[in-house]
Structure 1
Amino acid sequence: MAPKIVRVPLFLVGAVLIFIIGVRIGSNFCEIKQEPYAIDSSLSTATKLNKNLQSIEKKDFKSFSFAYNTTHLWSMRLADDNYYRIARLLPCRTVKYTNGPNQEIMNSCDQSVINEFSVEATLHAQQWLYEHQHPIDCTNKKFAILHSFAWSGFGSTLHQIVWAFGRALAEDRIAIYETPGNWLHGNCKLGTPDCFFRPISNCSIPSKVHGNQTIRMPANTHHWFEPTHPPIFQNQSFNWYRSQLLFYLIRYNPETLAYVQSTVAKYFNPPSVDSHRPYIAVYVRRSDKVRGREMSQSYSLQQYFDLFDTDARLAKITKVYVNSEDQKVFSEFDQLNKNKQGYYKLLSIDATRDVTFPTLISMPVEQRSKIILEFLTDLYIEVNADLHVGTLTSNWCRLVDEMRFVLEYDDDDDGGRILRLKENSASCTS
């Protein structure tokens, strides 16, 4: 899989925050109690979707439109027997998110956390976001035109767009993208994230931009320094709210989803992620993160595997999806797995490696767009894995973490709820 280019730098233990490529990217911190990695158990197969949704009271869905249902559930992976088996085997984990508006501590066995991140809460949040952004009549609505996307890595750019989107909602505005935009990660005429994702809104830019009715809002300057929520989400946690916004913004459009699924089918045999569950996804971040000293050192693949090997064997998980911008990782896997008597079966896709932000922006537009599709294929695979391991100093790993927050809870056999468990107390906010 293609590497994830320069993203918002975060602190490792004792690491110093720096600025990359002169982009104003804000201050971010990680609190890490063990190693700088996180491991999560995932929700799983879409074949359980209808059954699980039917278990939720009908009144919860009576206002859901057909358009909503057909554009929001592209990656909803609800829990199945494999998920419960894995979740019950792993111990409770505590993760501390720092440097947000408030310090948030998430315990995987805390009922209040479990309730907040429920499937019902996600469905209602996504419905509200969709209906706010897709009114029946756009006349006399307040708008925020999002413009000037950051020239930074894919994850960093998306997180800054999420901030601008959240600010627009807090002001009761419908967020719309300026077109053509300057989003360097797409090659369509729109020049916005809509090149790859579902449209952010059904409204167009008003013919007159004046006064307070329609304002322009840059999407390249902030990372939630002072986040504000619309009244309906006022009592929700920072991590829950930001994750919901991100999930809404990056719903794959049909063309993107078709590319992703065809790529998976090309390299996975059988040709779907569901056919390989349970599996672990491991993302190894190196290159510019180490050269820029955002990471104090380059961690070996062995160090990543040491975090989950015991749990993987306990849960009888043998398949592992390995991804990195560093081609050497795959040679490391061969030796590592040899030492483990071939316990693990490698899953991977053929993709461009050794890409950093400077090399990405120097590429022709068509080539750059292809690499972004490779990124999105990896995102799909990582989000839907049963366990995920990665350095949270990377904006990419935070994208995966946030997507999994949205998808991670569901009813167990006893009517309770289970959180995807984290191997280490390592997490970040910005």
Structure 2
Amino acid sequence: LYGTCSSGTPDCFFLPITNCSIPSKVDGNQTIHINANVAQWSNPIYPPIFQNRTFNWFRAQLLFYLLRYKPQILTHVQDTIAQYFKPSSIELHHPFIALYVRRSDKVTSREMSQVYSLKQYFDLFDADARKANIRNIYINSEDQQIFNEFIQLNKEKNGYYNLLSIQARKNVVFGSLTNMPKEERGQIVLEFLTDLYIEANADLHAGTLTSNWCRLVDEMRLTLGKISPYYTPENRYLVDMPM
């Protein structure tokens, strides 16, 4: 996933967790390691100091910390946005909605019960967007067809929405990503990180509940204090899937 980066770790894209070594004792107290990669859904483990917080809150805070972009990655993301957004700064496009539409392998693997049309997503937030006078929308999807759907749908809405997008490769899912050459994988990950930056900074977010990507965006937004409604056409979580 790290392209040609020599370290082959998340440090290729994100700031290191710490520049300090881990001592065996802190203030005379023995430090402990918590194995948090076991039963993370049914019996989550997190530091006692945060026991009065929900696990979702802790996970979102930890995730936000781990995904702090390195300066050169942030520069790349901002340069990409400047290349495709007119005007070039994301701050000049507020308020805007970010929409992620997941299809393809999520449907064939039955993690999603069906393919949802773009109209089904728009029907969830269109009234709220008009009340708030939000016209800009950023659309992200692995399905290239979604942009043709937007053109037709926006005609029916008399051109109300202004589309924001970046040039990125489509039809990329985890299985195809891991089979790509290193150089190509690295470029795709940079596109993902640009998408993440844009969607996390949106004023409203709509997406696909069973998508890991949408849950990632939602947790990043939670840490940023964006607790506005989350719009999704689905009514069940991945953990509700029949075995």
Using the size of structure 1 for normalisation, the TM-score is 0.50
Instruction: Name the structure 1 match of 2:216.
Output: 399
Instruction: Name the structure 2 match of 1:308.
Output: 125
For the residue of structure 2 that corresponds to 1:322, the secondary structure is: strand
Instruction: Name the structure 2 match of 1:254.
Output: 71
Task: Give CA-to-partner distance per residue, 1:269-292, whole Å, 9 cap, x none.
Answer: 111111001010010000100111
Distance in 1 (alpha carbons) for counterparts of 2:141 and 2:42: 30
Task: Give CA-to-partner distance per residue, 1:256-279, whole Å, 9 cap, x none.
Answer: 101100000000011111100101
Please state if 1:372 is matched with 2:167.
Answer: no
Instruction: Name the structure 2 match of 1:201.
Output: 18
Conserved in 2, the CA contact under 8 Å of 1:393 and 1:428?
yes
Distance in 2 (alpha carbons) for counterparts of 1:314 and 1:333: 21
Distance in 2 (alpha carbons) for counterparts of 1:185 and 1:426: 34
Distance in 2 (alpha carbons) for counterparts of 1:423 and 1:363: 33
Backbone CA RMSD of aligned residues: 2.5
Distance in 2 (alpha carbons) for counterparts of 1:367 and 1:260: 17
Please state if 1:352 is matched with 2:160.
Answer: no
Conserved in 1, the CA contact under 8 Å of 2:100 and 2:207?
yes
Q: 1:292 aligns with which of 109, 130, 133?
A: 109
**Aligned positions of 1:311-390 closer than 5 A:** 311-390=128-207
The alpha carbon displacement at 1:350 in A equals 0.5
Q: 2:91 aligns with which of 274, 281, 285?
A: 274
Instruction: Name the structure 1 match of 2:57.
Output: 240
Which one-letter code corresponds to 2:212 in the other structure? N
Radius of gyration: which is bigger?
1
Distance in 1 (alpha carbons) for counterparts of 2:18 and 2:188: 26
- Change over 3 Å in CA distance of 1:350–1:388 after alignment to 2: same
- Change over 3 Å in CA distance of 1:359–1:426 after alignment to 2: same
The alpha carbon displacement at 1:359 in A equals 1.7
List structure 1 segments (4+ residues) > 4 angstroms apart after TM superposition: 212-219, 423-430
For the residue of structure 1 that corresponds to 2:80, the secondary structure is: helix
Q: Which runs of 5+ in 2 are unaligned?
A: 24-29
Distance in 1 (alpha carbons) for counterparts of 2:33 and 2:46: 19
Conserved in 2, the CA contact under 8 Å of 1:186 and 1:196?
no
The alpha carbon displacement at 1:427 in A equals 7.8
- Change over 3 Å in CA distance of 1:427–1:402 after alignment to 2: farther
Conserved in 1, the CA contact under 8 Å of 2:36 and 2:44?
no
For the residue of structure 2 that corresponds to 1:320, the secondary structure is: strand
- Change over 3 Å in CA distance of 1:352–1:205 after alignment to 2: farther
**Aligned positions of 1:31-430 closer than 5 A:** 184-204=1-21, 223-408=40-225, 419-423=227-231
Higher helix share: 2
Provide the identity percentage: 60
The alpha carbon displacement at 1:186 in A equals 4.7
Task: Give CA-to-partner distance per residue, 1:23-78, whole Å, 9 cap, x none.
Answer: xxxxxxxxxxxxxxxxxxxxxxxxxxxxxxxxxxxxxxxxxxxxxxxxxxxxxxxx
- Change over 3 Å in CA distance of 1:213–1:307 after alignment to 2: closer
- Change over 3 Å in CA distance of 1:319–1:377 after alignment to 2: same
For the residue of structure 1 that corresponds to 2:134, the secondary structure is: coil
Conserved in 2, the CA contact under 8 Å of 1:186 and 1:193?
no
Distance in 2 (alpha carbons) for counterparts of 1:288 and 1:192: 27
The alpha carbon displacement at 1:362 in A equals 1.5
- Change over 3 Å in CA distance of 1:427–1:319 after alignment to 2: farther
Using the size of structure 2 for normalisation, the TM-score is 0.87
